[in-house]
Structure 1
Amino acid sequence: MVVEGRYRLVRCRECRTEYFRPDPTLSPCERTEPVSEYWEEYKFGLYSSDDVRRGYEQRYAATLDQAERLTGPIETVLDIGCGIGNFVSFAQSRYTHSYGVDVDPDAVEMARSRGLRVALSEDLDSLLPDATADVVTLWDVIEHLYDPFPVVGRALQKLRPGGTVIFETPDASFPVRPVVLAVKAASGGRVDLTRHMYYWEHKIYFTEAGMRGILSRLGCKVISVQRPTSPRAKMQEIFTRYADSSWQSRALARAWPRLESAARRTKRGNKLIVIAHRNPGAVSSSRVQ
């Protein structure tokens, strides 16, 4: 599958994690430039929505409660890829210290306007000393990275020995993904719902095995894996945004509530939430060989 006229989906034979890589069959003149950036204008409104925020706060609360049960009390939290600061704001209401960083200047500015302790990623060292945080979180961040090791390794330097790291990321093994790929192939591309399951901004779609492999190399042990669905309010907003784009999109929007309910019942949602414990003797590195 090729998206945005330039990225081809490939799959690891061992862990089944999926990757977008530049399509080698296209010449440079055939490859189109991306038509959007991650923090598009509509996302500021999406994540500012009260309903969407409440949906995420329920997830944050459940995940942090579980992390505390498994790994002990939390006082200091660092959020990598904090966006406009929704998680930082939530954590600030529960813990002594809450910090965040993001690469997008507009998102950081908005977070700061809310009175949150947030900085650009390049200023992380001025925000928080190494080996300080009890928990480091990456909510929907790791999938945006061609190579996650430098970013995650750098984030782990801020985690105290024996601390906890939490990831949320799309699950490559979500059962709807192979279905939409098969339908596209069988129809010769005439029925294409893949853009609702795959986005060019997401460079990696991890499986549980893929996440376990990366975290093991970074000196962390996975202690919990959950497979929730995306918050309902968020998906409704997204489907509404694309409601008039095609009959295929409208059909998926109508089918999604049933698909989502089935995924919840079977605990096979479109997301992975991974909680991992950093080995006390582990040494973080900005690059793992």
Structure 2
Amino acid sequence: MSSFDVVEVALGSAVAQSGTIVIDYPENRYSGSYVGYGHKIYAEGLQRHFTQDGGEISVAFTTSITITYNGATSIPANTAVMVELNRAGDDRADILAGLPGGVTPMLPYLIDLGTPDMLDAGGICEAQSDTGAHDLTINGDLASGGVVVLDVPRNVIADSGGADTAVLTVYGEDVYGQPMAESITLNGSTAVPGKKAFKKITRVAASATISNGAFLGTGDVIGLPVFLPYNTAGLVIGDFENGTFDASLDGTLTAGVQTTPTATTGDVRGTYDPGATLDGATAIQLAVFLADPTYKGVNQYAG
């Protein structure tokens, strides 16, 4: 678990939507003291919390701390606001005892990504055309009853047999059963990979006519079960391929998205594109340092 600091401030003026609250750092704290997620404010007059993870606030750490308020109801002047700032590291006294200021405990973790199957270009939707806005039929090799449950959480790839430019919006769930959606614009016969890791796909909607047979399949970008706040080599130890450690990390890590998710932003926890060819037989594991292995990212965009 991460630890946190609490700062209380009385608003000198009302804060409307997109307005800001600026506070100083607590004593002996600086921008590096805090992680990029999990921050909250509590507005006493409104009797409720506003969270970064829910997209209700955003927080920027520069020479001071700037909180941008995204709520629909203005916070009145003179309201007492409690700001809860999420720090990196564990809040256990036995770990923190004796640590000098600015030192954050981070522990190594091994993330098991399974043995992902090989790519299947039409595994979700086989090539199909139709006029106007319409739903594609989920009828690929991986489909059962109009639904696809993937072997591991992974991205999808959209393609077409010709000059189609419709937007495909994919609906489904993540590995925790949370609804999610992603929009991918077709680029003719050039495959377009998605960024988000789906575990289940329940609907694929096209924004316009498809004339050349659009199809949807699986990609080789694997979703992570926990939030990865970085892709820095020093904090990522390496990966294992069938138990063989590779410190060079020949795959590509993408950190989790912390801005308010949309239909086109990346995965809320982060992804890994292994260097090994996925074949259903190669086990992939990732060794990383994490300050908070319980955090699963901001809420998904569900459409």
TM above 0.5, yes or no, is no
Q: Which category of TM-score, normalised to the shorter sequence, fits these structures? A: under 0.3
Larger helix proportion of the pair = 1
Task: Normalising by structure 2, report the TM-score.
Answer: 0.22
Structure of greater Rg: 2
Quick check: which one's strand share is greater?
A: 2
